[in-house]
Structure 1
Amino acid sequence: MHAPEPDTPHCALATVVATLRAAGCVFAEDEARLLVDAATHPGELARMVEHRTSGVPLEHVLGWVEFSGVRMEVDAGVFVPRRRSELLVRQAVALLHPGDVVVDLCCGSGAVGVAVAAASTGVELHAADVDTAAVRCARRNVESVGGHVHEGDLFDALPATLRGRVDVVVTNVPYVPSEAIALMPPEARDHEPQIALDGGPDGLDFQRAVAAEAPRWLRPGGHLLVETSAHQAATTADIVTRAGLLARIVRSGELDATAVVGTWRVDY
Structure 2
Amino acid sequence: MPSPTPEPLVARLRAAGCVFAEEEAAVLAASAGSASELEELVARRVAGEPLEYVVGWVAFDGGRVGVEPGVFVPRQRTAYLVELAAGTVTAGDVVLDLCCGSGALGLALARRVPGIAVHASDVDPVAVACAARNLAPVGGSAVVGDLDAALPSALRGQAAAILANVPYVPSRAVALMPPESREHEPRGTVDGGPDGLDLLRRVAGVAPRWLRPGGALLSEVSETQAPAAATVFAAAGLDPSVHHDEERDATVVSGVCPPARRRC
Normalised TM-score (structure 2): 0.96
Structure 2 gaps of 5+ residues are none
Q: 2:55, 2:246 → 1: CA distance?
A: 29
Q: 1:8, 1:205 → 2: CA distance?
A: 50
- Which amino acid counterpart does residue 243 of structure 1 have in structure 2? A
* Structure 1 outlier segments of 4+, above 4 Å: none
Query: In the alignment, what sits opposite 1:175?
Result: 168
Q: 1:8, 1:156 → 2: CA distance?
A: 50
Identity fraction in percent: 52
- 1:254 Cα deviation (Å)? 2.2
- 1:121 Cα deviation (Å)? 3.0
Query: In the alignment, what sits opposite 2:2?
Result: 8
Query: In the alignment, what sits opposite 2:95?
Result: 102
Q: Deviation digits for residues 9-36 of structure 1, max 9, x if unmatched?
A: 5x42112101101111111111001101
- Which amino acid counterpart does residue 245 of structure 1 have in structure 2? L
- Which amino acid counterpart does residue 24 of structure 1 have in structure 2? G
Q: 1:90, 1:27 → 2: CA distance?
A: 26
- 1:157 Cα deviation (Å)? 2.4
Q: 1:66, 1:146 → 2: CA distance?
A: 20
RMSD across aligned positions (CA) = 1.1
Q: 1:8, 1:72 → 2: CA distance?
A: 27
SS at match of 1:200: coil
Structure 1 gaps of 5+ residues are 1-6
Alignment partner of 1:245 out of 238, 242, 245: 238
Count of aligned pairs: 261
SS at match of 1:14: helix
SS at match of 1:144: helix
Query: In the alignment, what sits opposite 2:17?
Result: 24
SS at match of 1:155: coil
Q: 1:46, 1:241 → 2: CA distance?
A: 53
Alignment partner of 1:52 out of 34, 42, 45: 45
Query: In the alignment, what sits opposite 2:151?
Result: 158
Query: In the alignment, what sits opposite 2:66?
Result: 73
Normalised TM-score (structure 1): 0.95
Q: 1:113, 1:190 → 2: CA distance?
A: 26
